[in-house]
């Protein structure tokens, strides 16, 4: 029997890192070698991540590029933007295949990255990074040694709109992305805005009017699909739940565009996908239906009165929006079945 592939997680003690560990431990073709963290280095894994008590022993290790690269074929970097690039560079220098979950390698244009994030820590690696949306870049990912795993909001918005722009069913002009996310998207570190009394009983928009850093990522991918520059109005919202994203996208319909045609286009584009399900026209997907899974539910409606298409997508921001998508890319890179280790259903209700 073929030996499992050794993998490590750097930045394992945040929400995304913990989700990576959960999914990797259930993956039949990999073996977790190192659990790496910075602030928690030296502490028992079970004390930092109590859900792994009785499952994972050992301690969180400090980052050592030589040790990680020597023991692991694939490394998942679940670090904040800015902090990730130097770590990725050190790992790539040592020959490790890297799945980077930060924003550091998602934007192809260095100038755009600098505008939104500041100085880049490893600009020479940008041309070699492959954007990790398996549904759109499947063949490129099979040979990628550096994968830029997409952000959670772009995952939902791009998957919803991709078939419509690809097939000319909507105009690239005037697209609106209205998205709502659970609080885990803000990370594990406590903040006043995500404190339970301030988040549990309300809903609010944040970083609206082109301020959110996922805006250029959404525009980059939609522009590629449209074959021309696309600008979107993107408004994210924080909603009182732990997991999930609902992206409701609005676009001007081309002539003769119907919900049925949009549905057919999406089913054609995502045929064979282990993750994407296109619901019947007029359905309204629910984040609860994908919670804890690598599933995506899409649905389309057409408003004949206003001439607009409504494209809806739901994902779990920690799974398909992060950890699960990274593993999906790893599967492709290793020549495995794309859905290996990811076919679990949602935790419902």
Active-site residues, by number, are: 152
DSSP-based three-state secondary structure for 232: strand
- Residue 75 and residue 8 in contact, taking contact as beta carbons nearer than 8 Å: yes
Helix 259-269 to helix 152-166 angle, to the nearest 10 degrees? Answer: 110
DSSP-based three-state secondary structure for 135: helix
CA distances in angstroms from 15 to 182, 183, 319, listed in the order given: 12, 11, 10
- Residue 103 and residue 151 in contact, taking contact as beta carbons nearer than 8 Å: yes
DSSP-based three-state secondary structure for 130: strand
The residue among 136, 154, 97 whose CA lies nearest residue 327 is: 97
CA angle 206, 318, 268 (to 5 degrees): 95
Which structure tokens are listed for 257? Answer: 């565009």
**What is the rounded CA–CA span in Å between residue 167 and residue 185?**
32
**What is the rounded CA–CA span in Å between residue 131 and residue 164?**
20
Task: For residue 210, count other CB atoms closer than 10 A to its CB.
Answer: 13
DSSP symbol at 27: -
CA distances in angstroms from 196 to 16, 19, 155, 202, 288, listed in the order given: 20, 21, 27, 10, 20
Residue 181 Ramachandran class (φ > 0 left, ψ -120 to 50 alpha, else beta): beta
- Residue 100 and residue 148 in contact, taking contact as beta carbons nearer than 8 Å: yes
Q: Which residues contact 127 (CB under 8 A, 6 or more apart)?
A: none
């Amino acid at each position: 029997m073929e030996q499992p592939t050794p993998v490590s997680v750097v930045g394992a003690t945040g929400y995304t890192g913990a989700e990576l560990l959960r999914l990797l431990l259930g993956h039949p073709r990999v073996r977790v070698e190192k659990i790496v963290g910075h602030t928690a280095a030296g502490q028992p894994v079970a004390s930092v991540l109590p859900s792994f008590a009785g499952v994972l022993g050992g301690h969180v290790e400090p980052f050592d590029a030589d040790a990680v690269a020597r023991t692991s074929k694939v490394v998942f970097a679940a670090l904040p933007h800015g902090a990730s690039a130097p770590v990725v560079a050190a790992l790539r220098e040592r020959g490790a295949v890297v799945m980077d979950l930060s924003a550091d390698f998602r934007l192809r244009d260095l100038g755009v990255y600098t505008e939104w994030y500041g100085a880049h820590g490893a600009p020479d690696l940008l041309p070699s990074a492959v954007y990790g949306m398996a549904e759109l870049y499947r063949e490129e990912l099979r040979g990628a040694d550096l994968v830029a795993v997409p952000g959670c909001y772009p995952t939902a918005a791009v998957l919803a709109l991709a078939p419509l722009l690809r097939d000319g069913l909507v105009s690239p002009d005037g697209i609106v992305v209205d998205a709502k996310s659970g609080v885990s998207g803000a990370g594990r570190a406590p903040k006043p805005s995500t404190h339970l009394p301030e988040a549990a009983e309300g809903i609010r928009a944040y970083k609206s009017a082109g301020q959110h850093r996922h805006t250029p990522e959404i525009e980059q991918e939609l522009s590629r699909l449209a074959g021309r520059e696309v600008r979107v109005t993107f408004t994210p919202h924080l909603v009182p739940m732990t997991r999930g994203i609902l992206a409701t996208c609005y676009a001007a319909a081309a002539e003769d565009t119907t919900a049925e045609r949009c549905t057919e286009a999406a089913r054609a584009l995502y045929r064979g996908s282990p993750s994407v399900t296109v619901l019947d026209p007029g359905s309204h997907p629910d984040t609860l239906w994908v919670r804890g899974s690598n599933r995506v539910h899409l649905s389309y409606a057409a408003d004949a009165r206003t001439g607009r298409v409504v494209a809806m997508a739901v994902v779990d921001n920690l799974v398909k929006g992060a950890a699960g998508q990274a593993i999906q890319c790893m599967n492709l890179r290793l020549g495995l079945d794309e859905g290996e280790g990811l076919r679990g259903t949602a935790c419902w209700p």
